[in-house]
């Protein structure tokens, strides 16, 4: 039997590759002769660069400006004239010093530096994955790193962060990196929020980045002011386009000024890693993520994998840390059987600390189910003749 592993990370415990390894160990216990093929996948957020590296890209390590101005070492992936960049690596919550959030002043400048580095290396196709950001600056920091000058009434360059955009008086675009004219940028973003308003970047995502209700209002107004000035200058309007609010408004800057094409993150990654080719001749695919829930149904990794597998007639199974979805919801999403780690142990905390071991147990259980269903299908095929 050929079984494909195509799982996202289990956030906080296992990478996608570690999940796949644990799955393989479990399958081999019940299917000693199984042929497994691992395709690390992600939804455009954290794990996207890892998936690209597994697909043959080369790691590029760069020291850039972190979200609070301190240097961070970030890695992006490059292959020939293509680059894959995770915003989280330079401007994410995970790289905040001591995890201290800075909702008003966190900057996306480092992400712009990664893009600049990729451009200088000859990139002409850039995938920008924008999950896990620590910023709510509408991508202003990124633009500054790419040569845009954002000035106050006195002609001083604005400091980093979304709050400072309230003082914006002039946008100077003449020094924007000229290499951007020859590059195609894909914005890998699943959220469809606008830039501002009750469903905007500040209102919906600001609190998880540390913003209190008053700061949310402050940031929302500042982002709106920035967009108003930029749109007057460019004679376009992107702030209400779905995805403009992604990653604290990074989606807005990428689409409005860098002509980025927004695509569902999982679709971009599956294309990048060649899952369609890997599924040819497969008897099953096992996918998964930490939490299989209603957000997953909006285009997270397991659903993207399930859609592609369904199109090729390959049955789909899943392993997750936990799931809040009912059996009908899972089956409607194309997933035949799901094993959650929290169903294997009484204490959810234990599911976190023993996740690799439990993923192996879950895969062993799925292996038995897959074997039985495969035999049943084969018997049915013989009977039909």
Residue with the bigger pLDDT between 276 and 379: it is: 276
Q: What percentage of the chain has pLDDT greater than the value 90?
A: 85
Judge whether 285 and 314 are in contact, CB under 8 Å. Answer: yes
In this model, does residue 68 exceed pLDDT 90? yes
What span, in angstroms and rounded, lies between the C-alpha atoms of 218 and 41? 37
pLDDT of residue 240: 95
Of the given ranges (246-255, 315-324, 376-385), which has the lowest mean pLDDT?
376-385
The CA-based angle 179-180-184, given to 5 degrees, is 120
Judge whether 143 and 135 are in contact, CB under 8 Å. Answer: no
Judge whether 265 and 87 are in contact, CB under 8 Å. Answer: no
Question: pTM here?
Answer: 0.88
Domains of the chain: 48-265 (3.90.1510.10), 277-285+292-353 (no CATH)
Task: Give the model's confidence band at 378: pLDDT under 50 very low, under 70 low, under 90 confident, else very high.
Answer: low
> 313 Cβ partners below 8 Å, 6+ apart?
none
Judge whether 85 and 129 are in contact, CB under 8 Å. Answer: yes
Instruction: Look at the block and give the residue holding tokens 């209102």.
Output: 203
Task: Give the model's confidence band at 383: pLDDT under 50 very low, under 70 low, under 90 confident, else very high.
Answer: low
pLDDT of residue 191: 86
Q: What is the pLDDT of residues 103-151, one digit of tens each?
A: 999 999 999 999 999 999 999 999 999 988 999 999 999 999 999 999 9
CA 127 → CA 12, 160, 303, 365, distances in Å? 24, 24, 21, 37
In this structure, the chain runs to a length of 385
Q: What is the mean pLDDT of the chain?
A: 94
Distance of CA 380 to the CA centre of its chain: 41
> Do β-strands 2-7 and 284-292 pair in parallel, antiparallel, or remain unpaired?
parallel
In this model, does residue 381 exceed pLDDT 60? no
CA 219 → CA 12, 31, 208, 347, distances in Å? 29, 55, 14, 40
What span, in angstroms and rounded, lies between the C-alpha atoms of 85 and 68? 19
Q: What percentage of the chain has pLDDT greater than the value 70?
A: 98
In the chain, DSSP assigns E strands to: 2-7, 35-38, 58-65, 71-79, 82-86, 125-129, 149-151, 170-172, 184-188, 261-263, 284-292, 316-323, 335-340
Q: What is the pLDDT of residues 144-163, one digit of tens each?
A: 999 999 999 999 999 999 99
The backbone region for 139, taken as left when phi is positive above 0, alpha when psi lies in -120 to 50, beta otherwise, is left
């Amino acid at each position: 039997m050929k079984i494909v592993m195509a799982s996202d990370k289990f956030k906080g415990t296992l990478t996608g590759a570690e999940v796949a390894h644990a799955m393989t160990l479990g399958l081999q216990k019940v299917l000693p002769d199984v042929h497994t093929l691992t395709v690390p996948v992600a939804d455009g957020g954290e794990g996207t660069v890892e998936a690209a590296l597994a697909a043959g890209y080369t790691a590029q390590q760069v020291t850039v400006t972190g979200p609070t101005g301190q240097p961070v070492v970030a890695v992006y992936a490059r292959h020939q004239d293509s680059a894959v960049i995770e915003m989280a690596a330079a401007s994410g919550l995970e790289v905040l010093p001591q995890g201290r959030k800075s909702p008003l002043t966190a900057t996306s400048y480092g992400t712009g530096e990664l893009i600049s580095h990729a451009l200088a290396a000859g990139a002409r196709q850039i995938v920008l994955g924008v999950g896990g950001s620590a910023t709510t600056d509408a991508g202003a920091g990124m633009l500054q790193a790419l040569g845009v000058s954002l000035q106050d009434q006195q002609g001083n360059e604005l400091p980093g962060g979304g709050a400072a955009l309230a003082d914006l008086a002039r946008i100077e675009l003449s020094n924007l990196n000229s290499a951007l004219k020859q590059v195609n940028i894909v914005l890998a973003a699943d959220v469809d929020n606008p830039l501002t308003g009750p469903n905007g970047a500040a209102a919906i995502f600001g609190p998880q980045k540390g913003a209190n209700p008053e700061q949310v209002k402050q940031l929302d107004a500042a982002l709106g002011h920035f967009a108003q000035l930029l749109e007057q200058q460019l004679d376009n309007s992107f702030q209400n386009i779905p995805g403009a609010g992604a990653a604290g408004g990074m989606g807005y800057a990428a689409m409005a000024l860098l002509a980025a094409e927004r695509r569902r993150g999982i679709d971009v990654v599956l294309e990048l890693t060649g899952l369609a080719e890997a599924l040819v001749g497969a008897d099953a695919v096992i996918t998964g993520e930490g939490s299989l829930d209603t957000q997953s149904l909006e285009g997270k990794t397991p659903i993207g994998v399930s859609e592609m597998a369904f199109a090729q007639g390959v049955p789909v199974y899943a392993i997750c840390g936990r799931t809040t979805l009912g059996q009908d919801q899972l089956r409607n999403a194309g997933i035949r059987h799901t094993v959650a780690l929290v169903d294997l142990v009484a204490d959810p905390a234990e599911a976190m600390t023993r996740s690799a071991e439990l993923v192996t147990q879950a895969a062993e259980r799925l292996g038995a189910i897959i074997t039985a269903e495969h035999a049943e299908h084969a018997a049915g095929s013989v009977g039909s003749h």
